[in-house]
Structure 1
């Protein structure tokens, strides 16, 4: 029988009712709020489709924890389609509830052997997305089932943040006043373990510290290598606490699921291993018999993890993940992760409330909704490692070049870390600074990245890379100042002096929006460089070098006056480039001036520019510049934050990105590059740059 994952997914409109073979059908009804403490009036949002709170995501984060643990639902309904890696490759997860002997699907699109009736489907009534959680509510057979995907974010807690694990929690209750016999089954396929379905995997089951763990591992791992952006080495874990009623089984997908439907898994692993992922599609199955259910049950909590040692390499040295400094084995880490599940949910609930309430104050309900969608994606582009006994963090340039710790990807992502965890931002900057100081980087300006292909930070000691001299040097100075990071003074001063010589009128250079091409005399790039010179004055002051602080601040003030003259067109707006009259572009780099409290840009210039943007607004936003109709969501929110004192402009940028997210037919993890007319993805997805959505919140941490 052909596996259902090879069949095309049913076409579903976002406001359509969804029905699949034998299903009870799916209808949507609004019933829950973004934050547990919010009132109905506060959370009401008529723009969100019925049943989705606080927005309809283009793709809903499920297990989104690291560059290689990143599984999403690229649609509206948990039952009826497969979950997938951020690339779109299927990473199958199946959920089946047996209620009074009848089997209902609540996750995935599983098939059964020919001749057997199709599964029925639970009815989905609600989807709630918070900054750390995605919660689905479904019902069938008199039972309501709540399925919560929790990928913890732990600001200030490196130990917990280092664990590459995510929770799936199931809770059932009767909704008709009657008791019902219920069992819940969940599995994941070996597709989670490798990007090539022809690769062979092995599997295992073991119990440690009261936790049962099933696992997949590639039989011929490619250490520090990728296949289709997925890691070719490491172990996928599927774990839960041992308890009465729990059973497990590893084997062919339809065999294991038939056992679950029949009433109990065998507690055995298929001996035919290793074998190819596509050879009878092995799965890791867990089943919990809840018995007679009337009131709400205790949650059935499963964790999924992707564990790799080493995690990355730096200049030829393999670096272990940071979690290895806290736990002697991954089994002990998983055990602790499960014993911490209740407390983790409480911590993340408090974080959800904080982010939501802060975001509402900063930019309203729609802004809070965007923050809810962006947080996990921003953090999941990064991971913690240990080098010479000290923590470092690396970032993957997901879905564009795949580079290691690209500075102009760190830069747009920076606001989320500046708001929630400046220490984490500091750890992300550390490898970049180390390489420039001691790693062999040969040029006077900052490097673009640490290596062309994640997870190998091989450097560019020959100087052959995608140079962005003003861009990256300025980005580094601004981020160091935002993180209030100390040390590294000599290299920072070197970059600042490069900017003094080159930033006021940049030559023909590449810059972060490299898809638009090289540009000379760029007004926006010059603005970034000037603000960065001002940032160096703050770095110098923090280092106790008052003479340098005065020197760089004086230059920044002198340059900004010259910049205003060079950049302003005869009509009053700021040009795209000094030598291009009649042009314009988003001056999103004004945000850094506001973030650092430098106040270099005259208020009148900011206000005039904001009014200009409103006059050039399309249905889904103001384009990045006059040459194209696309924009970037991160830069749109940076611009909104620069315009924070002008609510009509600020709110327009927020509203437009919200409308794009909730209307786009591009069902991919939050894209940052999209067309402002059609609301279609123009490129990129799942990138950590959506940390830029937090720009308005980062202003709360400014000096």
Structure 2
């Protein structure tokens, strides 16, 4: 049974831009029906920042702030981006005056005020206060709700793990640093569903300044449903002063508007002198801080609705700040002890194995802050260095924008046997659990940076196919229709993609085996060999021509005799040869290598257009002549070193793609103008030794850096206008790391 795929669009549009249906429309007409107001590419680039940046006085300041963003101006800036339910972004470049949002567009209010020598400045969010002013027309006092003074943002620096804003006002420079740690190889730390915010102040005019910092979150962090009742409470621990926010009527292992309908939001600062806190009406709390520089410790928001917008505020007195920076630290978290329903069994978060409760974890996280920043510095430097070496500054920009987004689509749990597993949410399209054809495009980030994390993501898919009741001879599409319900499809009814998913699994497993220690690779290949052999045998029966099948670009519809899909299956057979060799089946290894070579010969004879210098979209003897598409599945041939695609074919495609590129990239396939950023970078990795590879990187960068659509990095966009077509915040942007994944395979671990 085929399922509808419903991406989360702007709240302002009610069009159902489903993954399968609306995107069959092409060009501007299709985009208009999807609810996008299109501008010419030049106009969009010019107005991208100015149209949505109201904070400091208009388009000139907004354009200046956008220009100061390095090494990329994000479509939306990642703030607290750690897992599917802790995913908050700034849909703008300027921090003051703009409200953060959950990945799907609901506001997750966060406000920052700095009181400098008794004068209050707004540095983050939509932090209005009530003020009395004279009414000139009537000679009476009136009140307005606004904030008259904001700090001036001078820079935004984005790294792989951080978004760092610099602002000035009142003789003080303020740095606001959002750190969402990525911890390769450290399961314990990676499992912590928390993110850091550091606000530091230093004098820039030679004088010492008295500085107090106020930070609040609002009740909408608990739910996107304004009618929900929430409970606010103190949750202090030995090392921290903490507010907790939860639904009054939680629904374990369920979602509301993509938010977790259970668990608690944590808002915390280390216990220290000069800390005060208060919860209640946000306008009253801000007024109290503006007037006194501190809070009174009360909680007037114990039970209220999201609509009432209760504020949970923390204030820190930094004392007199001189030339050296003084900092206030905060932590935002979203904790759930049970994370996933796997085949009727609730699985606990991996952090519960390492910490007695969330308070112990929070205290550890606070205490680990300095070391976390040191590790983040090293990781940021590594990613930037490697990206610049592979594709220059533009590629660095794409990588630093993508890393947190890829990891934040996943979370770590304790598997049924007590070992670490990872699950992935298909954010903003289906919402499925561990969708294979979403994991595959995301996988290069883990192939490059964290191979064992890829193994943990593969384990639930293998376990279900081996022991969970999956009834078909090819790989499953996903583990459940709606995250976090990994209830499987024992009735066999799902969105089948037989060659696609089977090929994805074999390629990812072969890639992990190349990066794993040799003994581990041998044991893994032997343990799962019967299942992998079953999938390979299915591919043998359905290649070299896969017939009419659904495939990952299902928004374009199922396709008959697909050249790209056939290539994936053929490379997957070669991958199975590598698996068989590690499992100790030398004869089978030779058989799969030979079968892949035989099938690629058929592929070459039928894929090349007889009258044009390119490969067709479908085999030309099946009426595909004159068509073409992006052959992103060539990536796997380079990744695994299978050597199936001849050099002259790669050169031909590279030359053809250079002729077909639009301002913002290479269309996915005729007759459409849309592209996928992940597939563009897969193609760049495959054609890394041709000039088109850098062009693909540069054009995806131009889209991400200039699009007017201020949503978390969208992967499906129009190459003519630079406008979003559908999807946002999806973990598939891990595919941006495809060129680095190929490079990492050149020195496999053994």
* TM-score interval for Structure 1 and Structure 2 normalised by the shorter chain: over 0.9
Matched, 1:428 2:471: no
Question: Residue 257 of structure 1 is aligned with which of 259, 279, 286?
Answer: 286
Give the C-alpha shift of residue 503 in structure 1. 2.8
Q: 2:570 aligns with which of 527, 530, 544?
A: 530
SS of residue paired to 2:234: strand
Report the alpha carbon displacement of residue 15 of structure 1 after superposing the two structures with TM. 5.4
Q: Give the match for residue 51 of structure 1.
A: 68
Cα distance in 1 for residues equivalent to 2:376 and 2:300: 40
Question: What is the Cα deviation at residue 662 of structure 1?
Answer: 1.1
Q: Displacement, 1:295?
A: 2.1
Distance 2:682 2:700 in 1: 12
Q: CA RMSD in A?
A: 1.9
The residue correspondences of 1:23-422 to structure 2 (distance < 5 A) are: 27=61, 49-113=66-130, 115=143, 118-271=147-300, 273-279=302-308, 281-387=309-415, 388-422=417-451
Aligned to 1:44: none
Match of 1:586 in 2: 630
C-alpha contact 1:94 1:107 (8 A) present in aligned 2: yes
The equivalent of 2:584 in structure 1 is: 544
Distance in 1 between the 2:235 and 2:392 partners? 48
2:203, 2:676 → 1: CA distance? 46
Deviation of 1:344 (Å):
0.3
How do 1:528-677 residues align onto structure 2 when only pairs under 5 Å count?
Answer: 528-570=568-610, 571-578=612-619, 579=622, 580-646=624-690, 648-677=691-720
Q: Look up the SS of the partner of 2:167 in the other structure.
A: strand
How far the C-alpha of 1:472 sits from its partner, in A, is: 0.2
Which residue of the other structure, out of 503, 516, 529, is the alignment partner of 2:556? 516
- Corresponding position: 1:476 with 2:505: yes
- Paired with 2:88 and 2:49, the residues of 1 have a C-alpha distance of 24
CA distance in structure 2 between the aligned counterparts of 1:78 and 1:401, rounded to whole angstroms: 31
Query: Structure 1 478/493 Cα, relative in aligned 2: closer, same or farther at 3 Å?
Result: same
- Does the Cα contact within 8 Å between 2:318 and 2:326 map onto a contact in 1? no
In 2, the alpha carbon distance for the partners of 1:21 and 1:344 equals 32
Q: 1:341 to 1:25 in 2, by over 3 A?
A: farther
C-alpha distance after superposition, 1:375-401 (max 9, x if no partner): 000000000000221110000000000
Query: 2 CA distance for matches of 1:247 and 1:189?
Result: 17
State the secondary structure of the residue aligned to 1:410. helix
Asked if the contact 1:59–1:72 (Cα under 8 Å) also holds between the matched residues in 2, the reply is yes
For normalisation by structure 1, the TM-score amounts to 0.94
Select between 267-276 and 298-307 the one with higher mean Cα deviation.
Answer: 267-276
Deviations 1:427-482 (A, max 9, x none): 00000011101100000001100000000001000000000000000000000111
Does 1:442 pair with 2:459?
A: no
Distance 1:536 1:307 in 2: 40
Q: Deviation digits for residues 342-375 of structure 1, max 9, x if unmatched?
A: 1100101100000000011111110011001000
User: Given the superposition, is the C-alpha separation of residues 21 and 210 from structure 1 closer, same or farther in structure 2, using an over 3 Å criterion?
Assistant: closer
Displacement of 1:22 after TM fit? 8.9
Measured against aligned partners, the alpha-carbon deviations of 1:173-203 in whole angstroms (never above 9, x if no partner) come to 0001011111011000111111211111111
In structure 2, distance between residues paired with 1:17 and 1:687: 25
Change (3 A) 1:617 1:58: same
Measure the CA separation in 2 of the matches of 1:122 and 1:278: 29
Shift of 1:299: 2.2
Aligned mates of 2:300, 2:89 — CA distance in 1: 31
Distance 1:322 1:672 in 2: 30
User: How many angstroms apart in 2 are the aligned matches of 1:118 and 1:224?
Assistant: 40
Question: Which deviates more, 289-298 or 357-366?
Answer: 289-298
Distance 1:494 1:166, change over 3 A: same
Inter-partner Cα distance in structure 2 for 1:296 and 1:247: 24
Aligned to 2:737: 694
Bigger relative contact order, structure 1 or 2 (CA pairs below 8 A, ≥6 apart): 2
Residues 247 and 264, structure 1, Cα contact 8 Å, conserved in 2: no
Could you say if the C-alpha distance between residues 87 and 601 of structure 1 is closer, same or farther in structure 2, counting changes exceeding 3 Å? Answer: same
Gaps in structure 2 of 5+ consecutive residues: 1-10, 13-43, 132-142, 514-520
Structure 1 residue runs of 5 or longer lacking an equivalent are 1-5, 31-47
Classify the secondary structure of the residue corresponding to 1:445. coil
> Deviation string for 1:312-356 (max 9, x for gaps)?
110111111000000001001010101110110010110000000
2:243 touches 2:312 (CA, 8 Å); kept in 1? yes
After TM superposition, the structure 1 = structure 2 runs for residues 483-498 of structure 1, keeping only pairs within 5 Å, are 483-484=512-513, 486=524, 487-498=527-538
- Normalization by structure 2: what TM-score? 0.88
Return closer, same or farther for 1:359/1:19 CA change in 2, 3 Å cut-off: closer
Does structure 2 conserve the Cα–Cα contact (< 8 Å) formed by 1:14 and 1:76? no
